[in-house]
Structure 1
Amino acid sequence: MRTPSLESYENPLAQEMGQRLSELFPRWWILEQAKASGFVERVRNLDPMVFFWHLVLAFGSSSRLCLLQLHRSHQKVAPDQMSWPAFYDRFTPELLEFLKRCLERAMARVVFEALPARATESLEACDIREIVAIDSTLIPLHPDLAESFPNARSTTCPAAAKLNVQLGLLHRAPRAFSISSGKTAESPLLPTEAWMEGHLLLFDLGYFKIERFREIDDSGGFFISRLKTNSNPLLLRSLREGPGNRIDLHHWRLREVEPYLRRQILDAEGFFAPSNITLVAT
Structure 2
Amino acid sequence: MLEDHAEEVGLVERNRKLQMPPLVWSLVFGFATGESRSLADFRRSYNSTADDTLCPSGFYQQLTPELAEYLSDLVEAALDEVTVPDTTSREIDRFRDIISADGTVLRLHELLADDFEGRKEEQTGARLHLLHNITEQTIDDYSVTDEKTHDSTQFDTGPWLEDRLVLFGRAYLSYRRFALIDENGGYFVTPLKDNAKPVITEELREWRGDAIPLEGEQIHDVTEDLYRQYIDVEVEVEFERRAYAGEQSEDSKRFRVVGVRDEGADDRDYELYITNVPREEFLPDELATIYSCRWETELLFRELKTQYELDEFDTIKKHVVEILLYAAILSLLVSQELLALLTEHASAEIVFPPERWAATLRSHAQLLLYRLGDYLGYSPPPLLDRLVKEAQKIHQERQTLQEELVTAMQPTAEA
TM-score category, normalised to shorter length: 0.5 to 0.7
Judged with a 3 Å threshold, the aligned counterparts in structure 2 of structure 1 residues 183 and 273 are, in CA distance, closer, same or farther, namely closer
2:223 aligned with 1:258: yes
Judged with a 3 Å threshold, the aligned counterparts in structure 2 of structure 1 residues 171 and 75 are, in CA distance, closer, same or farther, namely closer
Q: SS where residue 231 of structure 2 aligns?
A: coil
| Preserved contact between residue 107 and residue 174 of structure 1 (Cα < 8 Å) | no
| Preserved contact between residue 239 and residue 267 of structure 1 (Cα < 8 Å) | yes
2:87 aligned with 1:114: yes
Q: SS where residue 86 of structure 1 aligns?
A: helix
Q: SS where residue 220 of structure 2 aligns?
A: helix
**Quick one: which of 52, 58, 74 aligns to 2:24?**
52
For residues 88-237 of structure 1, the aligned pairs below 5 Å read 88-104=60-76, 105=78, 109=82, 111=84, 114-120=87-93, 123=94, 128-155=95-122, 157-158=123-124, 160-237=125-202
| Bigger relative CO (Cα 8 Å, ≥ 6 apart) | 2
Q: SS where residue 175 of structure 1 aligns?
A: strand
| Cα offsets for 1:17-70 (capped at 9, x unmatched) | xxxxxxxxxxxx7667666765457x974344543354345566547x4x5x45
1:81 maps to amino acid: T
Tell me, in whole angstroms, the C-alpha distance in 2 between the residues paired with 1:58 and 1:140: 20
Judged with a 3 Å threshold, the aligned counterparts in structure 2 of structure 1 residues 112 and 253 are, in CA distance, closer, same or farther, namely farther
TM-score (norm 1): 0.65
Q: SS where residue 129 of structure 2 aligns?
A: strand
Supply the RMSD in Å over aligned alpha carbons: 3.7
Which structure has the larger Rg over C-alpha atoms? 2
Tell me, in whole angstroms, the C-alpha distance in 2 between the residues paired with 1:50 and 1:179: 26
Number of positions where the alignment pairs a residue of Structure 1 with one of Structure 2: 235
**Quick one: which of 236, 251, 257 aligns to 1:271?**
236
Tell me, in whole angstroms, the C-alpha distance in 2 between the residues paired with 1:58 and 1:263: 54
Tell me, in whole angstroms, the C-alpha distance in 1 between the residues paired with 2:186 and 2:106: 30
Tell me, in whole angstroms, the C-alpha distance in 2 between the residues paired with 1:216 and 1:82: 51
Structure 2 unaligned blocks of 5 or more: 240-415
Once the two structures are TM-superposed, the CA of residue 269 in structure 1 deviates from its matched residue by: 1.2
Structure 1 unaligned blocks of 5 or more: 1-28, 275-282
Judged with a 3 Å threshold, the aligned counterparts in structure 2 of structure 1 residues 264 and 272 are, in CA distance, closer, same or farther, namely farther
Once the two structures are TM-superposed, the CA of residue 76 in structure 1 deviates from its matched residue by: 6.7
Q: SS where residue 105 of structure 2 aligns?
A: strand
Identity of aligned residues (%): 29
| Preserved contact between residue 71 and residue 84 of structure 1 (Cα < 8 Å) | no
